[in-house]
Amino acid sequence: MIFSKARDETKRSAPSPHPATSALLFAGADYVERMSASDTSTISLLGRSETRLPSSPEEARLEFFANRHSARDYWIHLDCTEFSSLCPVTGQPDMANIQIRYVPDEKCVETKSLKFYLASFRNTPSFNEDIVNRILNDLVTGCAPRRMVVRGTFGARGGIQLTCQASSPEGCDASLGMLPL
């Protein structure tokens, strides 16, 4: 697993808004600041037309950026409805809906890198429970959220559907931030 961290910089200069976009930059009394080049200097996938997916989670690169609202607790909900991996015994494809819910601390997950990371499991033989726990471990290692829950709802095999849910920190109420099944 390769991790990329955006540099934390406290001094940011205000952008000079283009007249056509100034309405998007001001919302009531709150000023919406654009990401500066230094905030995004370690983001390598976003804004590029990269089409080659990593062949394994070890090759994938998760990227993160500074959370501008780290003083506030808020939930980020990410859903991957087309997740696939391989059964480690039969080699048959396993399909799943992966839900990730987290309260960020200093860093947030960049979603294009997450998409590539999740797609890297498509040729990876692994048990469903291992996949959910690996995703949680990799994300917690990369962005150290205050709370995170990862749920995988896997397609039925042999008439049994498996749902696995893992959370961090230990003892965290796993229902926090999750929508009902």
The answer to whether the CB of 9 falls within 8 A of the CB of 38 is yes
pLDDT at 48: 60
* Catalytic choice (39, 73, 80, 87): 87
Residues of the chain with pLDDT under 50: 6-33, 37-38, 181
CATH class for the region spanning 2-168 = alpha beta
Q: Determine whether 130 is an active site residue.
A: no
pLDDT at 179: 52
pLDDT at 44: 57
Contacts of 154 (CB under 8 A, 6+ apart): 94, 95, 96, 128, 161, 162, 163, 164
Name the strand (E) or helix (H) holding 79: strand 76-86
Q: Where are the domains of the chain?
A: 2-168
Q: Determine whether 94 is an active site residue.
A: yes
What are the tens digits of pLDDT across the range 86-106? Answer: 999 999 999 999 999 999 999
pLDDT at 170: 75
* Catalytic choice (8, 73, 79, 94): 94
What are the tens digits of pLDDT across the range 108-123? Answer: 999 999 999 999 999 9
pLDDT at 13: 40
pLDDT at 181: 44
Measuring CA to CA, how many Å separate 163 from each of 53, 159, 181?
26, 13, 9
